[in-house]
């Protein structure tokens, strides 16, 4: 079987920047396991698979996969997938249209515009950040992040699970110590973190810096 695919770079206006995205088309006959294998081979942050829509009024049904799991929605695949469909159909020249993608999270209407060489996509997210059910095994969190147990938590803030398409585990730190490296990528995921796909460190910072908190998002290997 031969499938067409494209590599787009989203969120940038110049080469070799932004967020790369793999787009695979004509995948209606693929199984979920086959899609996951393809996403794993690309090994990009996300791969989006284009299928025929269930509703003919929509432009495509899409499935968004990380290298290790499928998620119901993510912003950069929605933007990249919609721009790919819109520009492929329109050909050259300026354009302004709406592309509706059938996501697992619900229909997403993406407004795509192109003026000259600049292409933009805009949409309203079908999922807003919200607390996720479950608890983080806090005794495993500190060593997984390379922190001391006493560094976790500040001002009543505790580690928590959040979701916005992809799941996140947010860990509140008691101090900001510059750039603190995570353990090697082979470190085991944190139990209860929704697969160990991503963990955010949240730390307080001085008011003189003009902010209330500093956050760093770092990927951990999925189990």
Q: Tens digits of per-residue pLDDT, 7-42?
A: 999 988 887 788 999 999 999 999 999 999 999 999
Say which residue the tokens 């698979």 belong to: 49
- Which is the catalytic residue, given 25, 46, 103, 164? 46
CATH superfamily of 5-123: Diaminopimelate Epimerase; Chain A, domain 1 (3.10.310.10)
Compute the C-alpha angle 217/185/37, nearest 5°.
Answer: 95
What percentage of residues in the chain have a pLDDT greater than 70?
62
Token pair for residue 173?
């730190």
pTM for this model (two decimals): 0.69
Distance from C-alpha of 126 to C-alpha of 196, rounded to nearest angstrom:
23
Residue 140 · residue 191 · CB < 8 Å: yes
Comparing 90-99, 121-130, 185-194, the range with the smallest average pLDDT is 185-194
Distance of CA 121 to the CA centre of its chain: 16
- CB atoms < 10 A from the CB of 93, how many? 8
pLDDT at 149 exceeding the cut of 90: no
Q: Which residues contact 196 (CB under 8 A, 6 or more apart)?
A: 169, 188, 189, 190, 220, 221, 222, 223
pLDDT at 59 exceeding the cut of 70: yes
Query: Does the annotation mark 102 as catalytic?
Result: no
Q: According to CATH, where is 3.10.310.10 located in the chain?
A: 5-123
Q: What is the 3-state secondary structure (H, E, C) of 162-221?
A: EEECEEEEEEEECCCCCCCCCCCCCCCCCCCCCCCCEEEEEEECCHHHCCCEEEEEEECC
């Amino acid at each position: 079987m031969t499938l067409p695919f494209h590599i787009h770079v989203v969120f940038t206006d110049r080469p070799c920047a932004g967020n790369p995205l793999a787009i695979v088309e004509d995948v209606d006959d693929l199984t979920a396991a086959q899609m996951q294998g393809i996403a794993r081979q690309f090994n990009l942050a996300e791969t989006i698979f284009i299928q025929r829509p269930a509703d003919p009024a929509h432009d495509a049904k899409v499935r968004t996969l990380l290298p290790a799991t499928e998620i119901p929605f993510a912003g950069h695949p929605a933007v990249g997938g919609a721009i790919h469909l819109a520009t492929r159909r329109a050909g050259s020249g300026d354009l302004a249209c709406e592309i509706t993608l059938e996501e697992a999270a619900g229909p997403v209407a993406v407004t795509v515009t192109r003026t000259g060489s600049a292409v933009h996509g805009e949409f309203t997210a079908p999922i807003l950040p919200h607390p996720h059910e479950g608890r983080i095994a806090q005794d495993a969190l500190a060593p997984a992040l390379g922190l001391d147990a006493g560094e976790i938590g500040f001002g009543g803030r505790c580690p928590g699970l959040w979701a916005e398409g992809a799941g996140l585990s947010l860990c509140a730190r008691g101090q900001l110590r510059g750039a603190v490296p995570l353990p090697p990528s082979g470190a085991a995921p944190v139990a209860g973190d929704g697969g160990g796909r991503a963990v955010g460190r949240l730390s307080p910072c001085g008011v003189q810096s003009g902010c209330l908190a500093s956050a760093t998002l770092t990927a951990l290997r999925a189990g």
